[in-house]
Amino acid sequence: MLAGVTQSATRRPRVSVTRLVLAAAAAGVLLVVGALAASADSLPDSALYPLKGAWEQVRGTFAFSPSDKLAFHLELSQTRLAEAEAMIARHRIDLAGRALDALDNELDDAAQLVQMAKQNDPAAAAEMQSRLEQAIATHELQLAGLQGQVTNQTALTAI
């Protein structure tokens, strides 16, 4: 009888290694998804901003058609403009300048897509050109409005 009590007292429930691995993986996935969600609206002065940029690059790899790639670059150009506006409002002119440079890069990439499309599909290229021109016109209006609000000479130069 004593042997049975000793044996049951020393027995512990066994936690399988598989359960531990699955729990750790689930926690890791939740952590990554949470960080990605938190970084979605981050600005250049945020610690999560590099994660946002990395996620944007991942998203860009899933734009397959020239039209989808153009939409992606135009979306990023609008995002960079919003970031520049936010950085100017926070008096972070250095980061506003970087955001405006990134805006220019996105529009340059979009223009290259249009040029490549002209060789392969002139009809699609014409539609893409129209979308690009419309985006540029919208950005120019936003930048002009921003210039009217800014009094800092360094910020005006950045715009």
Alpha-carbon distances, residue 43 vs 81, 95, 103, 117 (angstroms): 11, 9, 14, 33
> What percent of the chain is predicted at pLDDT more than 70?
81
The predicted pLDDT at position 16 comes to: 82
Burial class of residue 35, CB neighbours in 10 A (0-12, 13-18, 19+) = middle
Q: What is the mean pLDDT of the chain?
A: 86
Joined tokens for residue 156 = 């005006």
Who wins on pLDDT, 154 or 72? Answer: 72
Q: What pLDDT is recorded for position 24?
A: 80
Cβ 158 vs Cβ 147: under 8 Å = no
Residue 1 per-residue DSSP state = -
**Choice between 151 and 58, residue whose per-residue pLDDT is larger:** 58
pTM of the entire structure? 0.75
Map out the domains of the chain as residue ranges: 16-158
Q: What is the pLDDT of residues 92-150, one digit of tens each?
A: 999 999 999 999 999 999 999 999 999 999 999 999 999 999 999 999 999 988 887 77
pLDDT at 122: 94
Percent of the chain as helix, strand, coil, to the nearest 5: 80, 0, 20
Cα dist. 72→43, 64, 99, 125, 136 in Å? 19, 10, 16, 16, 14
- Please give the residue that has the higher pLDDT: either 46 or 2: 46
Report CA torsion sign: 67, 68, 73, 78. positive
- Among 18-22, 71-75, 94-98, 135-139, the least confident range: 18-22
